[in-house]
Amino acid sequence: MLALAERLALPVRLAHRVGGWLLLVLALVIGYDVVGRKFFDTGSVVLQDLEWHLHGAALLLGFGGAYLKDAHVRVDLLRERLGMRTKARMEVFGILVFMIPYLAILAFFAVEFAVRAYLSGEGSVAGGGLPQRWIIKSFLPLGLVLVVLSALSVLLKCLHYLRDGADISGPFGSRSKSRMTSNRNDLSSESCSTSLKERAESRNQVGPPDCDLL
Amino acid sequence: MLGDYLPILMFASLVLLIFSGLPVAVVLGGISLLFAALGLLLGEIRFVHLPLLVNRIFSGVVSNVVMVAVPMFVVMGTLLEKSGVAEDLLAGLQTLMRRVPGGLALGVTIMGTVLAASTGIIGASVAMLTMLALPMMLQRGYAPKLATGTIAASGTLGILIPPSIMLVIMGDLLTVSVGKLFMAALLPGLLLSVLYMAYIASVSCFRSGMAPASEKPLSAGERALLLHQLAKGFLPPAALIFLVLGSILAGWATPTEAAGVGALGALVLALARGRLSLSGLGQALEQSLTTVAMIFFIFVGATAFSYLFRRFGGEELVLSFVDSSAMGAWTVLGALMVMVFLLGFFFDWIEITLIVLPIFAPILALLDFAGHVDSRDVVYWFAILVALNLQTSFLTPPFGFALFYLKGTAGERVGLGDIYRGIVPFVLVQLIALVVVLAFPEVALWLPKVAFD
């Protein structure tokens, strides 16, 4: 079960990593665009289109990975006080009743949305921008499917935890600590998920603070 | 009919389910799904309405030129943090202000202001300041309540002082210029920072037991080290921040352009300091993406929620309620402010701006503050008031958001009681600033007016 959970998480993590580097590409494109426009009068609609394409693709690739890292904001005022098993049960409920149905339906419409763009040969609205709008539109269903995968992965881990008890690394994280030194990933010793305070404490032991706690 | 109550039921179930501790985005999505089904059954919406949701999400989250600034500001902040400038900055400020009563606390406030300008992420600023400055302050004999109050208050400056990610998102939701919002936020933000420092300085002067100054004079070697630290720690990030903010405020670059260039600048800075390996860069980028994904995933849920809320006539409901209650503009504003304040106990600004603003923004158009604020400027004024209000709310015991972060990071070194007592004077300062901006809207509106008209 855990092996399957890991396998499901693999493409999600890969996408998250690719998305991270896309942010650097985005910064470079903006830099090139700005220098061109301000100094050489060469600004183009293509570059401007490319900027939001990169932004959109990066964050759609990032949604699933953020869930694996348990980075999505929760209001854990009451949750903090619950036992680990209750938390795991809640997560299972949330994934099965809320998350997967909602995302699956959205992904279904998103596929239609991308296919429609492909069939109609939709291009840039501005004219002179990037053609082939269907490419970025297909990132929408892709991103949503990645979140579904991450949800399935966490679901399996929670179920495993509920069945076998404490002896797991926890649904949110099971990677080695050495690779990511100062990240939320270091929740591996904790279980199904952590509260705000626990997060901050775990960061305290790990190293310098991150910008990923809002 | 039941159909008429759908918006109210939606809102009620949101309030209830959000405390389940499930990710807020998931709660929003789940409720939307539930009520979409209910709406279909009751004939309030038709099936053709549902696929339109995807268009909304695409245009709001993906093909949104304004929002491109958000990931870039996050990357810039993360890289600045990785480059270790913060440590150098604090070390330099500490030495520089060793003779001044309360010098270290003043240094923390200055650093909070600089951090605020560079990242705008509360949890990160508070945790970082706690880790760097709290042990130092306690060791130097500062009263725990002064130390913690200073850290929590300085660390929250980030949501107001530009470039604030919150202001970018507010600008998009309220469809106003982000550059103008930044400008409106600058003076109130600096005002707060100055008021904090005035408080710290007066406490340190009159009750020297709370903030002892160091007696030891500097040797020549230490002086040289100090200059070196300041040059290394203060000048590069200050130059970068000045460049980014300056080009936005001068109207020379859009926030997106400035943010992108700022991210590149931070990268150069981190590389130049030799603090960044290739794998470190990859980590920083992934970490940034996690933050960005977290913000925008709520967007996906909130878009679905507010889309259905509107389809069910929620907007008219809110408007007709405000209309029928015959409240004056000031009463409505007051009610909104109280609501935002209370929400700030439990929620971070992300949920508040993304859920509350779309629902209540239409009310803004109805508000008439003739003679006090020009009708064109009400939106900007309101945004700054909300930001100030939220900041206060993050600091207010017992549920202040920033206080939790501080306690979480500090562990057993300080008690929650000290934190609660320490924050009170800073909350009072916040309230003063809020009242000043309420009474004198020019504090926020003067700068954009001068720059744009």
> What confidence tens digit (pLDDT) does each residue in B315-325 have?
777 777 777 77
Decide if pLDDT at A127 tops 70. no
Q: Which of A26, A28, A87, A98 to mutate to test the interface with B (most CBs of B within 10 A)?
A: A98
Chain B residue numbers with beta carbons less than 8 Å from the beta carbon of A102 are: 26, 29-30, 32-33, 304
Secondary structure percentages of chain B, helix, strand, coil, to 5: 80, 0, 20
Report CB contact under 8 Å: B30, A94.
Answer: yes
Decide if pLDDT at A182 tops 90. no
Decide if pLDDT at A43 tops 60. yes
* Residue B216 confidence (pLDDT): 64
The proportion of chain A whose per-residue pLDDT surpasses 70, expressed as a percent, equals: 73
Pick from B283, B258, B259, B280: which is nearest to B270 by CA?
Answer: B280
Chain A residue numbers with beta carbons less than 8 Å from the beta carbon of B65 are: 48, 51-52
Q: Count residue pairs from A and B with Cβ separation < 8 A.
A: 286
Report CB contact under 8 Å: B260, A183.
Answer: no
- Arithmetic mean of pLDDT over chain A: 74
Report CB contact under 8 Å: B123, A213.
Answer: yes
The DSSP letter of residue B19 is G
Higher pLDDT, B418 or B375: B418
Q: How far is B394 from chain A (nearest CA, A)?
A: 12
Higher pLDDT, B293 or B366: B293
Decide if pLDDT at B195 tops 80. yes
Decide if pLDDT at A167 tops 60. no
pLDDT band at A88 (very low <50, low <70, confident <90, very high): confident
CA distances from B50 to B11, B173, B176, B304 (A): 19, 22, 28, 9
Single-letter amino acid code for the residue at B218: L
| CB B82, CB B284: distance < 8 Å | yes
- Arithmetic mean of pLDDT over chain B: 82
* Residue A199 confidence (pLDDT): 40
Decide if pLDDT at B222 tops 70. yes
B370: Cβ contacts below 8 Å, ≥ 6 apart: none
Higher pLDDT, A139 or A126: A139
Q: Which of A29, A51, A140 is opposite residue B54, by nearest beta carbon? A: A140
Report CB contact under 8 Å: B26, A79.
Answer: no
Q: How far is B26 from chain A (nearest CA, A)?
A: 6
Q: Token pair of A139, please?
A: 């990132």
ipTM for the assembly: 0.78
pLDDT band at A152 (very low <50, low <70, confident <90, very high): very high
Q: Which of B17, B22, B78 to mutate to test the interface with A (most CBs of A within 10 A)?
A: B22
The proportion of chain A whose per-residue pLDDT surpasses 90, expressed as a percent, equals: 30
Decide if pLDDT at B91 tops 80. no
pLDDT band at B120 (very low <50, low <70, confident <90, very high): low
* Residue A149 confidence (pLDDT): 93
Single-letter amino acid code for the residue at B441: P
Decide if pLDDT at B28 tops 50. yes
Between CA B409 and CA B58 the distance in angstroms is 37
* Residue A207 confidence (pLDDT): 33
Give the side-chain half-sphere CA count within 13 A for B112.
33
* Residue A128 confidence (pLDDT): 67
Neighbours of B43 (CB within 10 A): 8
Nearest residue on chain B to A182, alpha-carbon basis: B283
The DSSP letter of residue B98 is T
pLDDT band at A125 (very low <50, low <70, confident <90, very high): low
* Residue A188 confidence (pLDDT): 32
pLDDT band at A155 (very low <50, low <70, confident <90, very high): very high
Between CA A183 and CA A208 the distance in angstroms is 9
Report CB contact under 8 Å: B54, A109.
Answer: yes
Decide if pLDDT at A201 tops 60. no
Report CB contact under 8 Å: B261, A30.
Answer: yes
Q: Token pair of B406, please?
A: 């501080």
pLDDT band at A214 (very low <50, low <70, confident <90, very high): very low
Between CA A85 and CA B53 the distance in angstroms is 35
End-to-end Cα, chain A, rounded Å:
33
Q: Which of A29, A73, A87 is opposite residue B24, by nearest beta carbon? A: A73
Decide if pLDDT at A100 tops 90. yes
Q: Mean per-residue pLDDT for B127-139?
A: 83
Q: How far is A162 from chain B (nearest CA, A)?
A: 18
pLDDT band at A144 (very low <50, low <70, confident <90, very high): very high
Decide if pLDDT at A213 tops 90. no
Q: How far is A135 from chain B (nearest CA, A)?
A: 12
> pTM above the 0.90 mark?
no
Decide if pLDDT at A12 tops 80. yes
Q: How far is B255 from chain A (nearest CA, A)?
A: 11
Report CB contact under 8 Å: A212, B287.
Answer: yes
Q: Which of A27, A58, A72 is opposite residue B289, by nearest beta carbon? A: A58
Q: Which of B21, B62, B65 is opposite residue A136, by nearest beta carbon? A: B62
Higher pLDDT, B157 or B209: B157
The proportion of chain B whose per-residue pLDDT surpasses 70, expressed as a percent, equals: 94
* Residue position matching structure tokens 């008021």: B195
Helix (H, G, I), strand (E, B) or coil at A29: helix
Q: Mean per-residue pLDDT for A151-167?
A: 82
Sign of CA dihedral B33, B39, B45, B47: positive
Decide if pLDDT at A57 tops 90. yes
